[in-house]
């Protein structure tokens, strides 16, 4: 199986993401696909022997969307192009809206006002509203619906009803003594407000992806070969010898072959603020910064194989994954649009039955308002935007979270098992003496900086900490006391660590395991949340859901705090997204009017409120960036 993150083009709401995800999962050869509306990406696990990205693209195009499978075309370029096109439509639609409103409100007096507004509204539908109608039709042919369906139906009904009134209003309504109007302004303003809301969403969502863009910006675009030639980084080959001077960034991963007292700032990988002195034969990593001296190194990992590229890929996949709560929202989104269509039809029929022909214009407007106000954008953005900001914020603190499930689960842990050597302490590789006295124990290894502070913080939060080690009892007891850990076990085997995880889970505890070695992988795999140290073995990091880059164990309580704040924001977003629809749909349907009030939410205001709800959810998620 191969795993790939692919940009999805053309999604406008949660139902869109659900449609693309459902279609991808229906294709032979795809094991699992998850689509993230906020990041506009699909994380696809597939068998390349059975299906290719090109075949996926062809299937998705059929239902009105597209996949950016061209490796040379970055997601950033696609976003910029889409944003420019959207901006043109917004500006044009506002021009049409101002003209129609000026005529409708009689700020500008023209002959044949209704006919002039008809022409302007038609131009707006054809140019600015075309994507809504095209996408809605494509989806309809496949038995699917989304926000475009609601917009196309509401603007279409408003336009057709107004066109009918323009030519036959007096003949049909006037002859019956019923007052009539045209609603071309509503048709135009619905599209204008929806497009404006999407534009504001896109601007706000750029902030949710700022962390991944910052990571992408760490790698330089060019590299200097040892011959002095400056070349694009994409042309580098394994084995090339590259020169780097003070103030420059390391372009790819490799091994130092020559150096003049080089010190490198590796804080973006290790989290350590002090630059590291490097010797010949040591590794250097893409994106790190040469602080002093100069060096030459042989390129070994290039392109997608560098550590920086792997970190970016891990963060992207985590941001594109789904928290358990999001799966519930997706199920709601799948039935939400058809339900809204049904409510709209019922609204129309009820008003018609209550008031007869005299209430027919009111029935049409109420039905249109329901279609507009119930767009599920806010619902679709509630979870993924918060996850993108939360996971990005964690990455900035050198906490790499593998998926949304891990982020949601970290906040629930009440027991933590931690390995000693290499995780809690730094071993002295120069000494092999097994001492029994405390001077001798101090020489064998060193407690990591801030380790006691981290363990104290965890225990103050009500989390029981257990230290496990294969070391001798006196050594384990000594380091447990130094770290402030009350529970410890010595002379343990890998199976013993897993057994403790299972025992605590059987007691109803939510268990996190922290380790760095192969002997920790059994327990890491069994734990509710698995945490690996960034300088540990590859197998430990592969198994772990969370990787702490560097040696600072304070990142563990930081990860718990990030989880609590992110999940809290998700709950706030979902509350407002659902309460918005619960309150606004009855108002749009004309419930106040039924009880004697002389007002209701018109289609124009419905579109403005819908846009506001989506933007407010994104802005609430962005508040996470301000939290330390």
* Highest mean pLDDT out of 146-150, 237-241, 367-371, 606-610: 237-241
More confident residue, 567 or 180: 567
Question: Which positions ≥6 away from 159 have C-beta within 8 Å?
Answer: 121, 122, 125, 184, 187
Question: 420 phi and psi, to 5 degrees?
Answer: -90, -70
Nearest-CA neighbor of 434 among 425, 421, 443?
Answer: 443
- Kindly report, residue by residue over 109-156, the tens digit of the pLDDT: 888 999 999 999 999 999 999 988 988 888 888 888 877 888 888 888
Q: Which of 185, 240, 403, 419 is catalytic?
A: 419
- Residue 510 pLDDT exceeds 70: yes
The pair of three-digit structure tokens given for residue 257, joined into one six-digit string: 């072959």
- As a whole number of angstroms, the distance between CA 221 and CA 72 comes to 14
- As a whole number of angstroms, the distance between CA 339 and CA 545 comes to 38
Instruction: Tell me the pLDDT band of 267, cut-offs 50, 70 and 90.
Output: confident
Question: What is residue 272's predicted lDDT score, i.e. its pLDDT?
Answer: 59
Nearest-CA neighbor of 332 among 48, 113, 18?
Answer: 18
Q: Active site includes 419?
A: yes
- As a whole number of angstroms, the distance between CA 339 and CA 211 comes to 37
Question: What is residue 209's predicted lDDT score, i.e. its pLDDT?
Answer: 64
- Residue 91 pLDDT exceeds 90: yes
- Residue 434 pLDDT exceeds 50: no
3 state SS of 116: helix
Which residue shows structure tokens 């061209």? 70
Torsion over CA: 490, 491, 497, 499 (sign): negative
Single pTM value for the model: 0.72
More confident residue, 599 or 240: 240
Question: What is residue 432's predicted lDDT score, i.e. its pLDDT?
Answer: 41
- Residue 68 pLDDT exceeds 60: yes
Cα distance between the two ends of the chain: 39
- Residue 169 pLDDT exceeds 90: no
- Kindly report, residue by residue over 411-430, the tens digit of the pLDDT: 999 999 998 888 888 876 54
Instruction: Tell me the pLDDT band of 540, cut-offs 50, 70 and 90.
Output: low
Mean pLDDT value of segment 21-47 = 89
The pair of three-digit structure tokens given for residue 270, joined into one six-digit string: 């290790």
Which residue shows structure tokens 């005299």? 358
């Amino acid at each position: 199986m191969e795993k790939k993150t692919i940009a999805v083009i053309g999604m406008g709401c949660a139902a869109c993401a659900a449609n693309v995800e459902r279609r991808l999962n229906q294709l032979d050869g795809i094991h699992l696909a998850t689509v993230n509306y906020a990041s506009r990406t699909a994380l696809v696990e597939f068998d390349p022997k059975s299906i290719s990205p090109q075949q996926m693209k062809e299937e998705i195009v059929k239902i009105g969307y597209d996949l950016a499978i061209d490796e040379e075309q970055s997601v950033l370029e696609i976003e910029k192009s889409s944003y420019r096109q959207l901006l043109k439509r917004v500006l044009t639609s506002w021009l049409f809206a101002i003209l129609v409103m000026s005529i409708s409100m009689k700020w500008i007096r023209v002959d044949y006002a209704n006919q002039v507004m008809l022409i302007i509204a038609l131009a707006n539908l054809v140019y600015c509203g075309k994507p809504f109608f095209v996408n809605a039709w494509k989806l309809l042919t496949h038995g699917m619906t989304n926000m475009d369906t609601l917009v196309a139906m509401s603007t279409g009904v408003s336009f057709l009803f107004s066109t009918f009134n323009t030519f036959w209003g007096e003949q049909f309504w006037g002859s019956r003594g019923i007052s009539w109007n045209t609603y071309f302004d509503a048709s135009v303003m619905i599209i204008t407000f929806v497009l404006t809301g999407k534009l504001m969403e896109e601007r706000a969502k750029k902030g949710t992806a700022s962390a991944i863009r910052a990571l992408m910006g760490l790698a330089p675009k060019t590299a200097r070969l040892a011959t002095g030639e400056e070349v694009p980084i994409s042309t580098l080959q394994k084995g090339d010898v590259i020169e780097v001077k003070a103030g420059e960034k390391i372009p790819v991963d490799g091994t130092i072959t020559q150096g003049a007292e080089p010190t490198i700032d590796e804080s973006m990988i290790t989290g350590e603020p002090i630059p590291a002195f490097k010797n010949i034969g040591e590794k250097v990593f893409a994106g790190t910064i040469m602080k002093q001296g100069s060096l030459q190194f042989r390129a070994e990992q290039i392109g997608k194989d560098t550590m920086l590229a792997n970190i970016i890929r891990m963060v992207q996949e985590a941001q594109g994954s789904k928290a358990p709560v999001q799966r519930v929202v997706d199920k709601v989104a799948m039935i939400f649009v058809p339900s809204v269509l049904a409510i709209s039809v019922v609204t129309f029929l009820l008003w018609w039955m209550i008031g007869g022909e005299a209430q027919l214009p009111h029935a049409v407007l109420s039905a249109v308002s329901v279609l507009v106000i119930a767009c599920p954008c806010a619902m679709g953005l509630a979870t993924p935007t918060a996850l993108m900001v939360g996971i990005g914020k964690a990455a900035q603190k050198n906490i790499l979270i593998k998926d949304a499930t891990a982020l949601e689960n970290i906040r629930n842990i009440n027991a933590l098992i931690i390995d000693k050597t290499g995780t809690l302490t730094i071993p002295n590789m120069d000494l092999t003496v097994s001492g029994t006295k405390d001077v001798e124990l101090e020489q064998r290894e060193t407690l990591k900086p801030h380790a006691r502070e981290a363990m104290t913080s965890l225990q103050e939060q009500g989390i029981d900490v257990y230290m496990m080690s294969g070391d001798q009892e006196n050594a384990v007891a000594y380091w447990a006391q130094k770290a402030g850990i009350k529970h410890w076990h010595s002379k343990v085997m890998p199976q013993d660590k897993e057994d403790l995880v299972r025992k605590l889970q059987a007691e109803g505890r939510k268990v996190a395991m922290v380790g760095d070695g192969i002997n920790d992988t059994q327990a890491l795999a069994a734990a509710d949340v698995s945490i690996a140290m960034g300088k540990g073995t590859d197998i430990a990091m592969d198994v772990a859901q969370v990787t702490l880059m560097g040696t600072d164990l304070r990142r563990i309580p930081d990860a718990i705090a990030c989880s609590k704040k992110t999940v809290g924001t998700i709950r706030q977003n979902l509350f407002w997204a659902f309460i918005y629809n619960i309150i606004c749909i009855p108002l749009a349907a004309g419930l106040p009017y039924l009880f004697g009030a002389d007002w209701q939410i018109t289609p124009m205001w419905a579109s403005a409120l819908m846009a506001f709800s989506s933007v407010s959810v994104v802005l609430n998620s962005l508040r996470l960036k301000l939290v330390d």
